[in-house]
Structure 1
Amino acid sequence: MTDRDTYETAKGPLEIAPIHHASFAVQWNDKTILVDPVGSLERYKEFGQPDLIVFTHHHGDHFDLETLNGVIAPDTRILAPDVVAEQLPEALAERTQIMANGDSGDVLGIPVHAIAMYNTTPDRQKYHEKGVGNGYLFDFAGTTLYLASDTEPTPEMDDLGPIDIAFFPMNLPYTMTPDQVVTCIEKTTPKFAYPFHYRFPFDEKGTEPEALIAIMPGNSATKIVARDWYRDI
């Protein structure tokens, strides 16, 4: 069984289960959410039928139609940017809530805001252009979860308000250095921060979470939550 971290909210426990690379599950208030499911279906069986599947963007380590077809249930909703929705067959596109950078809405009774995710370093901008993919800010009865997705520090992070839980990618050349993740943490001041998306190829050591822990300021109010995202290569 995949390890889970539990956080208390005003409407019961919020459980987070890191699955692989950029994929994780959130279970809360009798709802199951899968984020960027890709790869082996065995990774997702223990979570049952998801109520919501969230996609951040179209890259192959975040979106795979074969995996989606294997995990989706008849009543599952999808949340995605247009770049993903346009690749879906009609039957799935019809139950997809499309959000663009800056949009706010409600999905399954959960308030959500789409945040721009993009590279800002000139020689990395080719990997993630502004306006294509989404990060997301979810509100679970007052407990906020920020999924930054593939990004570097951006001005859009400056005004997100109080963050309880955050996920930041940490691998070059596609996303961030540990120093940049520290900048993101300083911008958003989450109570808990997960470094993820830190290896590529998956079977080779990357910028491991320990590299971030080693440079965190001693007076930081943020706890780094280091998990093994590559147990299942």
Structure 2
Amino acid sequence: MAGDREGDEEDVVCLDGSFFTNDDYQLTKFTFGSQVLELYCLQSASTDFDLTGQLVWPGAMLLNEYLSENVDLLRGCSVIELGSGVGITGILCSRFCREVVLTDHNDEVLKILQKNIDLHSSSESYSNCTGLVAEKLDWGNADQIKQILGSHSGGFDLVLGADICFQQGSVPLLFETVRLLLQIRGKGRCKFILAYVSRAKMMDSMVINEATRHGMKIAEVPGTRSVVGNLEGTIYEVIL
């Protein structure tokens, strides 16, 4: 019996979290209109679903194309991005905004996000932005939201999100977080711009319903519906 127990113990395999982490980042060039960005990202997905932020997703390409064509939305603004991933949208914004706060919930993703911020913080293109920072933010976490707003007591002009609606359980928390950020400025004075990529009919409805349930108006921006990464995407504007 003792020998059997010893054999069982030998069969137990303990895996360190790093086993699932792919950090083979490559410096990659992206072009949006006249804007050229270089940043570190993965070229293929991690084995861990929670590390999706290591990639540049189709919705980020959609949002960056939209913003590059509408830079007046950004000039002189204070912006917070939700689910920033490697930071491709926030870094583009930093070329036009006075401050940009990039957020993500995953510590591993925050590492590459900070690396990309450091890469761009010394560039001439960044000179118009006085603040480009990364913060940890789990959607719905009131303490983390309070901490961020403590450093930005006036709130933000824009809340941004790209391709961040793909887990049903996170969508209510996303819109609760958005509501808290929008209400700092008051009705109509701050808006949430969401680049949404359709992957499931249920999610299509859920995004609309959750925005409405949280007391917000959501509308598709005319002319923004297009095919990105073989999927249909569009830009939504959400206001209180």
Higher relative contact order (CA 8 A, sep 6+): 2
Indicate the structure with greater strand content: 1
Higher Rg of the two aligned structures: 2
Q: Same fold (TM over 0.5)?
A: no
Indicate the structure with greater helix content: 2
What TM-score do the two structures reach when normalised by structure 2?
Answer: 0.39
